[in-house]
Amino acid sequence: MSSYALYTLRDLRVSGERQARQALAEAMAAVRRAEAERDRLVARTSEARAAVAAARAAERPLSTAGEALTARRFWARLEAEAEAAVEALERHRTGPLRAALEAEVAARASHLRARQRREVVDKAITRREAQQRRDRQRREEAAADDLASRRKP
């Protein structure tokens, strides 16, 4: 393979690595957003559970059927909100958060492969340049030997 072809291939591999790095950065940003949403949902779940606990602590004896019915609806609403928060958190963990983490793993693997492919070409270029240096040195030594042999009487 010619040096020109190796340098062209390296340029392509560098470009591929750059694209893989960009994809990895985007995947990492998606994970950060998903984790921020998870944290928000965890806080919402904690708040809902705390609201149920606070309401239970402040519960007072009921004197009429109307109060009992109102209290039952109140408890049902609070518990439904807490359950909805838990379900939303679980859906997020199994859906968007898991997808973002899997995408990040795939992007890391892709970036690693792209970097390894570029490094292979870099090593080939280094070997080629070292061989060219050795060949040039041999030619210079041969020319110097020829010149020295011509000078001898």
Q: pLDDT for 26-55, tens place per residue?
A: 999 999 999 999 999 999 999 999 988 888
Question: pTM for the full model?
Answer: 0.75
Name the helix (H) or strand (E) containing 87.
helix 65-92
The CA R_g of the chain, rounded to the nearest whole Å, is 35
Q: What is the pLDDT of residue 152?
A: 65
pLDDT at 60: 79
Structural domains in the chain, sorted by start: 3-151 (1.10.287.620)
pLDDT at residue 128 in the model: 93
pLDDT at residue 153 in the model: 58
The amino acid sitting at 64 is T
Res 59: pLDDT: 79
In which residue ranges of the chain is pLDDT below 50? none
Give the 3-state secondary structure of 91-128: HHHHHHHHHHHHHHHHHHHHHHHHHHHHHHHHHHHHHH
Measure the CA–CA gap between 84 and 89, rounded to whole angstroms.
9
